[in-house]
Amino acid sequence: MADGSLAALIETLTPLGVVARVLSRESWDDDVSADAVVEVAGQRFEVEVKSVVTAEHGKRLATSARRGRPLIIADRMAADARLSLQEAGINYFDRRGELRLVAPPLIVHTSVKSALPMAGSPRGSLDSQVAKEVAICCLLTPDQPHGVRQIARYIDRAPSAVSNTMAGLRDDGLLTSAGEAMIPDLFQELLAVWHRRAVPLSDLPGSRVQEAQRLMLGLDEPERSTGWALTDTRAAASWGMPIVARGDYPPDFYVPTESVLRASHSLLGEATEPGSRACTVALAPVRLACLQRVDHSQASGERWPVANHIVVALDIAQDRARGLEALKQWSPEGIVRAW
């Protein structure tokens, strides 16, 4: 991996008129551990080669910078990781297209052509329901490592399917070897394949036991049962997102199955005009959207079980203007941002 990264660095610098060469395949200094030593425009750098650098990894690299002049080269580097390295004065080369080499009089900080081999879109590894659920699970706590069995239990899927999915996401540079999410990359790739087809209904589901059972509302113990999950605007407001929603704003739900979608249409009727809707329902893009729901009745007064914050963020972000702006301003308490 080091040889390919060094060759990519030299090939990237050549069109910029900057001469670079490899001095050694290892550090000359016993006190400095490095994968190689390079000379760029007469300046020496100790190179450390990584596959991916997450935001948390970037912070650790920034605070543990060794003596000398380190240069971090990675196939994929999170935006927050680049910022941490830059603030610490550490040079880096994100092979997807950003290079920073600052050692006066040498100053190079620019976007460059991707130095990675052409490949298919990483979205291919997010085609299946299991893949989307694994991605959501890792994005819920993006600063933590994730194991196959831990995720399999959480999303109620076979460990073999989860293992294959995680391998694909690692190959695409969207997960580290420890199962940490590359952010915001993984969120953005998931957003590109996330779709919701909402149907406006003329009435809300009631509390009659027979109706609740037929519609699979799952109002009892939402954290442990499958059922309707509130999402989009009202759900975002209940999570504390800076978004305006009237108290009578119609709720938007995910329902767990096609049969429930048909039953809700039959029992509650389709609204003739979007403005007259009592609510909207949509088949959940993944089963996980209707599992592991959250009770916000005490915190925000929202009476409906709410989808997890990643599902809600994906729906809000479908509005590329106002939604993305709301996400940018949202710093939820006790939650690590994944967008």
pLDDT of 120 = 47
Q: What torsion do the CA atoms of 154, 160, 162, 166 make, to the nearest 10 degrees?
A: 140
Most confident of 30-34, 38-42, 79-83, 209-213: 38-42
The percentage of residues in the chain with a pLDDT greater than 70, rounded to a whole number, is 93
User: What's the whole-model pTM score?
Assistant: 0.74
Mean pLDDT of the region 136-161: 96
Average pLDDT value for residue range 75-82: 85
CA torsion 124-128-129-131 (nearest 10°) is -50
Mean pLDDT over 213-237 rounds to 93
Residue where the block lists tokens 């893949």: 131
pLDDT digits (tens, 9 = 90+) for 194-203: 999 999 999 9
Tokens of 161: 């399917």
Q: Determine the number of helices (DSSP H) and then strands (DSSP E) in the chain.
A: 12, 11
Asked if residue 250 has a cis previous peptide bond (ω within 30° of 0), the answer is: no
C-alpha span between 239 and 332 (Å, rounded): 8
> For the chain, what percent of residues have pLDDT higher than 90?
60
Sheet holding 36-40, edge to edge: 20-24, 36-40, 43-53, 70-77, 91-94, 98-103, 106-111
Confidence of residue 3 (pLDDT cuts 50, 70, 90): confident
Virtual torsion, Cα 273, 278, 279, 280, nearest 10 deg:
-20
Backbone angles phi, psi at 83, to 5 degrees: -65, -45
What is the per-residue pLDDT for 119? 47
The burial of 273, by beta-carbon neighbours within 10 Å (0-12 exposed, 13-18 middle, 19 or more buried), is given as exposed
How high is the pLDDT of residue 122? 54
Task: Tell me the pLDDT tens digit for each residue of 268-299.
Answer: 999 988 788 999 999 999 999 999 999 999 98
- Other beta carbons within 10 angstroms of residue 106's beta carbon come to 14
Mean pLDDT of the chain: 88
Nearest to 178 by CA among 73, 52, 339: 52
Does pLDDT of 218 surpass 70? yes
Architecture of domain 2-111: 3-Layer(aba) Sandwich (3.40)
Can you read off the two tokens belonging to residue 318?
Answer: 């479908």
Q: Is the pLDDT of residue 328 over 80?
A: yes
Tell me phi and psi for residue 122, to 5 degrees: -65, -10
Task: Locate the domains of the chain by residue range.
Answer: 2-111, 122-192, 199-329
pLDDT at position 86: 93
**Higher confidence at residue 2 or residue 173?**
173
Judged against a pLDDT cut of 90, whether residue 183 lies above it is answered with no
Taking CA atoms, 71 is separated from 16, 99, 102, 187, in Å, by: 18, 10, 10, 27
Contact 81, 53 (CB under 8 A): yes
How far is 257 from 283, CA to CA, in rounded Å? 6
> CA-CA-CA-CA torsion for 235, 241, 242, 248, nearest 10 degrees?
10
- The region of weakest confidence among 2-11, 133-142, 225-234, 248-257 is 2-11
- Dihedral of the CA atoms 281, 285, 287, 288 (nearest 10)? -100
Domain 122-192 maps to which CATH number in 1.10.10, 1.10.3470, 1.10.287, 1.10.260? 1.10.10
**With bands split at pLDDT 50, 70 and 90, how would you rate the model's confidence at 300?**
confident
Q: What's the one-letter identity of residue 238?
A: S
| pLDDT classification of 177: cutoffs 50, 70, 90 | confident
Separation of CA 268 from chain center: 35
Q: Which amino acid is at 226?
A: T
**Can you tell me the distance from the alpha carbon of 31 to that of 163, in angstroms, rounded to the nearest whole number?**
39
Query: 3-state class of 103 per DSSP?
Result: strand
Q: Are 288 and 133 in contact (CB under 8 A)?
A: yes
List the structure tokens of 249. Answer: 């704003």
Pairing state of beta strands 20-24 and 36-40? antiparallel
